[in-house]
Structure 1
Amino acid sequence: MKTPTASPLYYIGLMSGTSLDGIDAALIAIENDLPPRLLATHAEPMPDDLRSLLLTLCHAEQVSFAQLAAAEHAFASARPKP
């Protein structure tokens, strides 16, 4: 038996398409056995330095876990230009 949650759980998903031209975000809410609810979406242009880093990794013959972790951190930490 599942214990009902007192309030929804909120999750943010981040992704980019194959062109690496932007970062797309989605906010969802999950509550009990209900289907997930999409609450908000947002898109930002990909920062040039992050796009360059990701393209370098995409074309590399070998990539270390440390390089992937650093790229993931840079992606998740990207901020829009003021």
Structure 2
Amino acid sequence: MVCVWHGRLVFPSWYLRQKTTKLHAIAGRHTDAEIMARILQRWGYGLIRGSTRKGGKTVVKKMAEVFKNTGIIAVTNDGP
């Protein structure tokens, strides 16, 4: 798992895509998250969509699947 601040999201995300192909990112379903989600998809990230209030249980299940397959998950640690 990789944690980054919202304000520092772009460079670490860009850098990691050059190191591995098993990357996934958690992204909310709101408009602001959609911008970064589209960029991450173009960079080859798998997306796990959801938030604390909307789809949290699904996010946890998908995270478990990714970890089971030795994937890497990127999250922002300053979110709600």
Indicate whether the TM-score tops 0.5.
no
Relative contact order higher in (CA < 8 Å, ≥ 6 apart):
2
Q: Which structure is higher in strand share?
A: 1
Normalised to the residue count of structure 2, the TM-score between the two structures is 0.29
Q: Which structure is higher in helix share?
A: 2
Give the structure with higher Rg (CA).
1
